[in-house]
Amino acid sequence: EDQVTQSPEALRLQEGESSSLNCSYTVSGLRGLFWYRQDPGKGPEFLFTLYSAGEEKEKERLKATLTKKESFLHITAPKPEDSATYLCAVPEDYKLSFGAGTTVTVRA
């Protein structure tokens, strides 16, 4: 049973072309939702934690939002350096259950 589903699998953007990634979850009693960025050959890098519906967090061109059923990662006016795989995860008991990720490619 999939707890975390991310869409789309891949996203190709032109520099400056804003877009959003989706993370939907089925766990009950959500105790947080985490976003990570992973560059090729590196470990996932923690970006944000969201705890309650309506919460928003921002970091540079990234903004994460949370509803009762899903989270969105908005990328505003992306640059090539925003190219990476973005992973979301939810805590299931003590462990983090990860989605498969969305690979974002930003072309100059």
Partner 1 sequence: DAGVIQSPRHEVTEMGQEVTLRCKPISGHNSLFWYRQTMMRGLELLIYFNNNVPIDDSGMPEDRFSAKMPNASFSTLKIQPSEPRDSAVYFCASGRQTNTEAFFGQGTRLTVV
Separation of alpha carbons 63 and 61, rounded Å: 7
Runs of H (alpha helix) within the chain: none
Choose one: 13-21, 41-49, 57-65, 75-83; the region binding partner 1 (CB under 8 A). 41-49
Which CB, 14 or 41, lies closer to partner 1? 41
Binding mask 69-108 for partner 1 (x = CB under 8 A): ------------------x---x-xxxx-xxxx-------
Q: Which two tokens stand for residue 62?
A: 């990234």
Separation of alpha carbons 70 and 72, rounded Å: 7
Binding mask 11-40 for partner 1 (x = CB under 8 A): --------------------xx-x-x----
Helix (H, G, I), strand (E, B) or coil at 80: helix
